[in-house]
Structure 1
Amino acid sequence: MSVSVFSPSAFSLEPSSPCATGVPSAAGPRLTQEQSHYRARLHSLATGAGIKVAVIDTGVSPHEQLATVHPGADFIAPEEPEPWLDCDMHGTVVSGIIAGHDIGIAPHAELYSIRQTSTHYRHFAPAPPAEGGDSAGGALAAMSGNLDTLAAAIMDAVAAQARVINISVVSCLPADHAERLDTTGLDSALLAAEEAGAVVVAASGNASSGGCAHGDTVYPAHGHTVLAVGATQDAHTLAEYSIRSGEVALSADGHLPLVLNPAGGWATAKRDNGQDMEFHGTSFAAPVVAATVALLAQRYPEESPAQLRARIYQAARPSHGFIDPLAALTQVPAEYTVPAREKVLTHAAATPTPVPARMGLMVLTALGLLTMSLAWLGWRRAARS
C-alpha cells in the first residue's frame, strides 16, 4: 500500500467512502500434515511470547485470532482516535500473518496498532477566505498518511517499547526526485528506533500499484537499518511486481488465499467475474520477516537490532534472499574469522640428505657396470685372436 510523500497542512478529516469488506469464508485455513509439522517445529523453538510488534498500517481490528492488540496512535482521526478500526482490511491482514492463532508465525507476540494511513479517508483543505471573510470552499487532498506521520508513527512505536516495527505502507519517488527530498524527520525516527533496540521491517513496494515503479526510491525501505522485503512468486522466483529495495535483497512469500476478516472470521478476495483470487504483494511478505524477527528476539533477548538483522541476512537464500522462518531460527551463524597462527622459522640441520646419497650410489653402480662391460668386451676380443 502506498502513502503520500508530502504533508498536507491545516486539514480536517472527512470520510470519503465506505469501509472495505472481504468476502466471508465459512471455512478457516486447512493446514496439510506437512504444514502442521512445520509449525510445531517452529513453535517448539519460539512463539514470540513477550515481544511487542508495532504494526504501522491502516489499523488493526480486534479479532478472535489475535490474542493481544494494544491501541497506539491514530494519525487518521487524531481528535477521536480509533486505532482498532481498520477501514481498509490491510492492517488486520498483516497482523494475522504476524500473530494469528492458526496462521501466524509468532502467535504469542503482542501487537501494537498504529493507524497511519487509509484509502477510505480524505483530508479536506479549506481554501483561503474570500474578500469579506467568507470561505471560498476547499478541496479533497490525497489519501491520508505521509512521511511526517510515518516518522511520528515510528516514534510512537519506540515510545511503546516495541521490539519489532512492521511497516507495510510505503512511499515511492523516482530516484532523481528522491535526491532532492528532505527525509531528515524519517531518518531521525529510524535512528531512534535503532538506538531503542527495535528492528524495522518494511515492504519493498509493488510496481503494479499506484505511484510505484521499478527503480523508484521506496520509503522507509531506503534506510540502511531497515529490512526491506520483496515478495516471491514461488519458491524460486521473485514476483515481477516486487521492487528491489534496500542494501541487501530479502524476500518472503507474499501470497495469501485466506485472510483475517476485520468483521470477524475469515475472508477471501473475489475478481469482478466472481472467481477467487489471492491477496498478494510485498505488504504481506514484510510481516513474514517481521514475525521471524520477533521469534529471534524471544530466542536471543540480549541481541541488538544489528545482530538480529545479521541472523536474517545469514539465513537468506542466494539470489533473491528468500527467508524461511524455521531456517532462520535454526541457523548457526558462520564464523568467518580464523585465529592467527604463530609461525616459527628454523634453520635446517647441516646433514647430507638422502637424495645425494642415492645419486652417488647410482653413479657408482653405473660405473661398475660400464667397467664390467668393457672387461667382457676385452675378453671376447682376446678369445678371437
Structure 2
Amino acid sequence: MRVRPTVRSATIASLLAVATTLSLGGVGSAVVPAPIDPGRLPGPARPAPLAPTEQRNACAVALPSTVEPNGPLPQRAMDFESVWPLTRGAGQTVAVIDTGVARHPRLPGLIPGGDYVSTGDGTGDCDAHGTIVAGLVAASTDPASGFAGGAPDARIMTIRQSSANFSEARRRDDPNDVQNTSGYGNTQTMAMAIRQAVDNGATIVNISEVACRPAADGIADQSLGAAVHYAATVKNAVIVAAAGNFRSGGCMAQNPGIDPLHPAADPWDSVATIATPAWYDDYVLTVGSVDPDGAASEFSLGGPWVDVAAPGTGIVSLSPDGTGETRSWLSGQGQQMPFVGTSFAAPLVSATVALVRARFPQLSAQQVIARIEATAHAPAEGWNPFVGRGVVDPTAAVTADLPDGAVAEQVFASAQLPNPEPPPSPDGRPRTVALAATAGIVTLVILGVLASLPLRRRSSRRD
C-alpha cells in the first residue's frame, strides 16, 4: 500500500542540528531492503541501559523565552486550532522515544515509560530535546500563550533512549555498536524502546532520532526493523520518524533529487546515505522539514523513503526546566542556537496522527498513514525525495471525505496531450484542371498556327 520499500542502517544522531548548506552529496548506489526477521525482535524486558553508564558532560541549557499571545509560525502554518472543534487527540497515547521528557504543568498525565540511558523513569531530559518534541505534540493550551501542542488532549509517554551527555562507564570500541552521537544510545536500545512503548499502550510512536551511514557500508539493524514491523502490524501503532539532518551525525552525504533527464528512474538506485528507522518505509511515516515558504529546508536529508513534510524552523515549545517556554538553547561553545531540524517537524505530524486516530478510531495504522499522505499538499511532481507527498494538512486529514483505504496517487502538473492529426493529403484537382486547360489552350494555338499555314502560302503565290 505504500510507495517505496524498506531496509537497514545505523549511527543515531540526536537531531539538535543547525541549518547547513545543501550539497548534492556523494555518489549513490542501489540499496536492497533487508528482509524483516521477527526473530530479531527484542524480548520484553524492563527498561535499563545495556551497560553501566555515567554522565560525562553538563546538561544542555534551554533559554527561557517570553510568552507571546500570537502562535509561533509552525503552529499557524499547520492551523491546528481549526481542527480542535472536531478532535483534540483525546484517547491517544504518543510515545516520545528521545532524550527524556521533563515534567511540566502543560504536560498533564505524563506517563513515565522507562530509561535506557540511566536509572531514571524517562522524565529526566539532560539534552533539552525530548521535552521540546513532546510539547509540540501535546502541550496544553494556556490563555496567555499562543503556543500549544497540535493535539493538546493526547497523553505523552516518555522513554529516554539516548543522550549526548551520557556514555558507557567503560566504553569499548566496537565497530558494530552504532552510537547516537559520542554519547549513549544505539539501534538496539531504540528497538527495545519501541517494543516497550507499544506493549504498554502507545498508539503513536514519535522517533525524532535517526541513524545514518553511507549506503556502501550497510548496517546490521535487523532488530530495529523487527521492532517497527511488530509495532505497525501486530500492535497497530503509527510510527512517525524524522528523516534526518544533512551533515548532522552520520548523515554526511545528501541523497540526490529526481533526475530531470530520467524522471522515472528508481530513486533507491542512487542512495548515498541510508537512514534508520526512516527507511523502513512500509512501516514508518517519515517526515522531512520545510521552511516558512514551503520549500524543503536545506538541512533536511532526502531519500526515497520520505513520505511527508512539516515545518522544522521557528520552533517554540516547552522548556525542559519544567516552567515556561523556550525557543533556543546554548551550545557547548556558549552560542544561542534556535531549535531547527526534522526532529521538530516529526512531532507536528505525530500530533496530526493523534487528531486523525481520535476522529477515526476504526482506521488501521496503515489507513491513517494513507489518509495523511493523500491529503498533504503535494509538490508539482506528485512526490519528491525531500518533501515526499508534500506538507501535511491537519484540517484536510481530519475532514476530507476519503474511503478508509484511500492511497494518494502521484499527480503530475503536466498532462498528456493527444498526438496531432496528420495534415490532409493535398488536393491535386485544381492543378490537374489548370494543366488540362493550359494543354488545351496550347493545343488550340498549335492547331490555329497549323491551319493558317495554307492561307499564307496562297497569299504568297498571288503576290
TM-score range, shorter chain: 0.7 to 0.9
**Does structure 1 retain, via aligned residues, the 8 Å contact 2:72–2:316?**
no
Q: Which residue is equivalent to 2:102? A: 61
Supply the distance in 1 between the matched residues of 2:76 and 2:329 (Cα, whole angstroms).
Answer: 25
Name the TM-score, length of structure 1 as normaliser.
Answer: 0.76
Q: Offset of 1:209 from its aligned partner? A: 1.6
Supply the distance in 2 between the matched residues of 1:165 and 1:205 (Cα, whole angstroms).
Answer: 16
Supply the distance in 1 between the matched residues of 2:135 and 2:109 (Cα, whole angstroms).
Answer: 12
- RMSD after superposition: 3.0
Q: Which residue is equivalent to 2:328? A: 269
Q: Which residue is equivalent to 1:247? A: 305
Q: Offset of 1:31 from its aligned partner? A: 2.9
Cα deviations across residues 210-250 of structure 1 (Å, max 9, x unaligned)? 22131311110011210000000123200011012353531
Q: Offset of 1:121 from its aligned partner? A: 0.7
Which of 112, 118, 121 is residue 166 of structure 2 equivalent to? 121
The 5 Å alignment of 1:278-289 reads 278-289=338-349
**Does structure 1 retain, via aligned residues, the 8 Å contact 2:287–2:306?**
no
The range that moved more, 268-277 or 12-21, is 268-277
Supply the distance in 2 between the matched residues of 1:31 and 1:336 (Cα, whole angstroms).
Answer: 32
Local SS of the residue matching 2:159: strand
Supply the distance in 2 between the matched residues of 1:106 and 1:248 (Cα, whole angstroms).
Answer: 23
Between the aligned residues of both structures, percent identity stands at 36
Cα deviations across residues 362-382 of structure 1 (Å, max 9, x unaligned)? xxxxxxxxxxxxxxxxxxxxx
How has the CA–CA distance of structure 1 residues 280 and 36 changed in structure 2, closer, same or farther, with 3 Å as cutoff? Answer: closer
Supply the distance in 1 between the matched residues of 2:397 and 2:320 (Cα, whole angstroms).
Answer: 30
Q: Which residue is equivalent to 1:146? A: 186
Structure 1 residue 316 corresponds to structure 2 residue 354: no
Supply the distance in 1 between the matched residues of 2:80 and 2:138 (Cα, whole angstroms).
Answer: 13
Structure 1 residue 193 corresponds to structure 2 residue 231: yes
Which blocks of at least 5 consecutive residues in structure 2 are unaligned? 1-11, 16-48, 142-147, 174-180, 256-272, 380-386, 408-463
Which blocks of at least 5 consecutive residues in structure 1 are unaligned? 129-140, 338-385
**Does structure 1 retain, via aligned residues, the 8 Å contact 2:292–2:313?**
no
Structure 1 residue 229 corresponds to structure 2 residue 287: yes
The 5 Å alignment of 1:334-345 reads none
Q: Offset of 1:122 from its aligned partner? A: 1.3
Cα deviations across residues 273-332 of structure 1 (Å, max 9, x unaligned)? 999753110000000111101111101111111110110110122123111212221222
Q: Which residue is equivalent to 1:2? A: 13
**Does structure 2 retain, via aligned residues, the 8 Å contact 1:3–1:144?**
no
Structure having greater relative contact order (Cα 8 Å, sep ≥ 6)? 2
The 5 Å alignment of 1:1-385 reads 2=13, 11-28=51-68, 30-31=70-71, 35=76, 38-77=79-118, 80-102=119-141, 103-125=148-170, 142-178=182-218, 181-194=219-232, 195-213=234-252, 214-215=254-255, 216-224=273-281, 225-263=283-321, 264-269=323-328, 278-319=338-379, 320=387, 321-333=390-402
Bigger proportion of residues as strand: 1
How has the CA–CA distance of structure 1 residues 306 and 120 changed in structure 2, closer, same or farther, with 3 Å as cutoff? Answer: same
**Does structure 1 retain, via aligned residues, the 8 Å contact 2:163–2:184?**
yes
**Does structure 2 retain, via aligned residues, the 8 Å contact 1:260–1:266?**
yes
Supply the distance in 2 between the matched residues of 1:39 and 1:73 (Cα, whole angstroms).
Answer: 30
Q: Offset of 1:46 from its aligned partner? A: 0.7
**Does structure 1 retain, via aligned residues, the 8 Å contact 2:80–2:394?**
no
Name the TM-score, length of structure 2 as normaliser.
Answer: 0.63
